[in-house]
Amino acid sequence: MYNLLMINLNKILTETQEGIVFNVKLVPNSSFSKIIDYTDEYVRIKISAPPIENKANKELISFCSDIFDVNKSKLSIISGEKSKLKKVLIKDTKLDMLIQKLLFVLNSENKSN
């Protein structure tokens, strides 16, 4: 089970004037979409969409929308559009709420493994 002591969330989720930045390492072309693990720098997410014609990026936005329970219009990729390492901006939300939701998802994923 994950907890705050095990995860350095200060680098994964960062508060800025524009909103919260979520650091992600994307693994496209997977058989399913799921958070698979994390480091001190980012959360690694498998996405089923291929990395062509912006399909993986669009699916990442949709996936993050589901995880954090925010409207897709509040999410945008601000760095790494053509890279596996991405920064996703989440507008109009609170850092503590996103931390709680991310920890919940990480704990849920850990229990199902």
The domain tally of the chain equals 1
For the domain that residue 82 is a member of, what is the CATH number?
3.30.1200.10
- Closest by CA position to 24, among listed 98, 111, 97, 113: 98
Q: Quick one: pLDDT band at residue 5, thresholds 50, 70, 90?
A: very low
pTM of the full structure? 0.89
Instruction: Tell me what pLDDT residue 28 has.
Output: 96
Name the pLDDT band for 1 (thresholds 50, 70, 90).
very low
pLDDT tens, residue by residue, 52-110 = 999 999 999 999 999 999 999 999 999 999 999 999 999 999 999 998 898 888 888 76
- Mean pLDDT (whole number) for 13-24: 95
Residue 15 lies in a domain: no
Answer whether residue 105 is part of any domain.
Answer: no
